[in-house]
């Protein structure tokens, strides 16, 4: 099975985008990650991951929706692509198949 080039933090960000559906932009993604993982990434770190995800073709983006709170700046919304979805599935499959090979860990039992 071919491995994917999805980093650990990228994977989390990608999943957050998937969870959020149409509402995924910088701030909501950051909130989702905080809610799910308790990690508090800086805005820069998050966007760095989003930039990589986009250049790998796992997400697409469009810009819209400036608000006063943002000082009139636009948001960039992200959407998971089919390629992104496949990458997530691949990563998960790879992980569970390998975990199952470790003695003492049985995913099906948990």
According to CB under 8 A, which one of 48, 79, 90, 94 is a site residue for other proteins?
48
Q: Total residues at the site for other proteins (CB under 8 A)?
A: 22
Beta bridge partners of 76: 63
Secondary structure (DSSP) of 23-47: G-BHHHHHHHHHHHH-----HHHHH
**CB of 18 or CB of 26, closer to other proteins:** 26
Q: Which residues contact 102 (CB under 8 A, 6 or more apart)?
A: none
According to CB under 8 A, which one of 5, 36, 43, 83 is a site residue for other proteins?
43
73 binds other proteins (CB under 8 A): yes
């Amino acid at each position: 099975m071919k491995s994917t080039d999805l980093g650990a933090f990228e994977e989390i960000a990608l999943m957050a985008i998937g969870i959020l559906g149409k509402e995924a932009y910088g701030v909501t993604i950051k909130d989702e990650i905080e809610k799910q993982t308790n990690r508090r990434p800086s805005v820069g770190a998050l966007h760095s991951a989003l930039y990589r995800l986009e250049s790998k073709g796992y997400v697409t983006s469009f810009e819209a929706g400036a608000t006063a709170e943002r000082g009139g700046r636009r948001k960039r919304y992200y959407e998971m692509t089919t390629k992104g979805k496949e990458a997530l599935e691949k990563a998960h499959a790879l992980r569970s198949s390998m975990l199952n090979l470790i003695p003492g860990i049985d995913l099906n039992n948990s």
